[in-house]
Amino acid sequence: NAGVTQTPKFRILKIGQSMTLQCTQDMNHNYMYWYRQDPGMGLKLIYYSVGAGITDKGEVPNGYNVSRSTTEDFPLRLELAAPSQTSVYFCASTTSGGNEQYFGPGTRLTVT
Amino acid sequence: GIQVEQSPPDLILQEGANSTLRCNFSDSVNNLQWFHQNPWGQLINLFYIPSGTKQNGRLSATTVATERYSLLYISSSQTTDSGVYFCAAAPWESARQLTFGSGTQLTVLP
């Protein structure tokens, strides 16, 4: 199993541009999550999903959108990039019966 | 929401030393996990431990749920243990929505 994969690894955006961060897991996990990690800080939950077609907001959802059309994929959309969205973004997943979260390698995003 | 505080924020050790990292949380938890973020940024799950004690090699963790704290013990530290250790917790009503602490930055010197 590849586990949780994220693309791209790095991206530089100009203010106002949009992009989609991709996340895929091949472990048949129902639960998927998006976090952001600012320098020197812990992770903050942006959105999560308990299964295909079901998503909900986390602690810091403003400026982001998500969708979950399949069990495997959970893309994160930034519509109008702002400098405050410069961060490292992590995707994670877990089973419905389990609790340990498995993380992807992260996407480092810079908005200038 | 639940508050998670970790101490110390930074820790420098010589290889072979032991250490204890602490995590305090503000509410009853149904989910508590420890993670290691290596210097390349990868996050690895170390323990799922909402209560009790677990051991995995040189690492062990204890959570005293009634007193709202968890401890991570690292024995005979190695340079590969360097990185940031995060504690994350979730309350009973939202057991999979983890709140992360700010982490303990551990540096193990050769």
A3-60 residue pLDDT tens: 999 999 999 999 999 999 999 999 999 999 999 999 888 899 999 999 999 999 999 9
pLDDT at B96: 76
Task: Name chain A contacts of B101, Cβ cutoff 8 Å.
Answer: 42
Alpha-carbon distances of A12 from A28, A91, B93, B107, rounded to whole Å: 31, 19, 38, 30
What's the pLDDT at A97?
66
**Over residues B68-80, mean pLDDT:** 97
**Nearest by CB: A45 against B4, B35, B98:** B98
* Chain B residues inside the 8 Å CB shell of A102: 45
The total number of residues written for chain B in this structure: 110
- Direct distance between the N- and C-terminal alpha carbons of chain B, in angstroms, rounded to an integer: 40
Contact between B52 and B71 (Cβ < 8 Å): no
At residue A31, what is the residue type? Y
Q: Are A109 and A15 in contact (CB under 8 A)?
A: no
Helix, strand or coil, per DSSP, at residue B92? helix
Region B56-69: mean pLDDT is 97
Is residue A109 predicted with pLDDT exceeding 80?
yes
Whether B104 and chain A come into contact, CB under 8 Å, resolves to no
Q: Inter-chain contact A42–B101, Cβ cutoff 8 Å?
A: yes
Residue B93 binned pLDDT confidence (cut-offs 50, 70, 90): confident
pLDDT tier for residue A98 given thresholds of 50, 70 and 90:
low
- pLDDT at position A95 is 82
Give the mean model confidence (pLDDT) for residues B8-15.
97
* pLDDT for residue B83: 97
Predicted confidence band at A1 (pLDDT cuts at 50, 70, 90)?
confident
Could you report the per-residue pLDDT of A60-80, keeping only the tens digit for each? 999 999 999 999 999 999 989
Half-sphere exposure of B41 (CA within 13 A, CB side): 18
On chain B, the residues whose CB falls within 8 A of the CB of A90 are: 43
- Residue B84 confidence (pLDDT): 97
Q: What is the 3-state secondary structure (H, E, C) of chain B?
A: CCCEEEECCEEEEECCCCEEEEEEECCCEEEEEEEEECCCCCEEEEEECCCEEEEECCEEEEEEHHHCEEEEEECCCCHHHCEEEEEEEEEHHHCCCCEECCCEEEEEEC
For residue range B23-54, what is the model confidence (pLDDT) as tens digits? 999 999 989 999 999 999 999 999 999 999 99
Interface test with B, best of A29, A36, A38, A43 (most B CBs within 10 A): A43
Q: What average pLDDT score do residues B52-62 get? A: 97
Query: How high does pLDDT run on average in chain B?
Result: 94
* Pair A106, A90: CB distance under 8 Å: yes
